[in-house]
Amino acid sequence: VRIKLRMPDAGDIKIDIYDISGKIIDHIYETKLTAGWHELVWRPSVSVPSGVYLLRVSAGSEAVVRRVVLVR
């Protein structure tokens, strides 16, 4: 699963995947990114079934949540 995001400023970022009930499924990234566009990849383990998941991107005091559909 490709994740494209834009960082307006350089800073720390954290990306997590949750199931629809709010249980954390995977911790993808916790790193520092430069300002600009980035493309990251989530490679879920084979134990993660097809379904709808929530992608949470946190940077500084802001967070964005988006739906992700995984089809195997």
**What pLDDT sits at residue 20?**
96
**What pLDDT sits at residue 60?**
87
- What is the SS3 string spanning 6-66? EECCCEEEEEEEEECCCCEEEEEEEEEECCEEEEEECCCCCCCCCEEEEEEEEECCEEEEE
Mean pLDDT by 10 residues, the chain (72 residues): 92 97 95 96 93 96 95 92
- Burial class from Cβ neighbours inside 10 Å (0-12, 13-18, 19+) for residue 53 reads buried
Pick the CATH number of 2-70 from 3.20.20.70, 2.60.40.3080, 3.40.50.2000, 3.40.50.920: 2.60.40.3080
Domain residue ranges in the chain: 2-70
Q: pTM of the entire structure?
A: 0.86
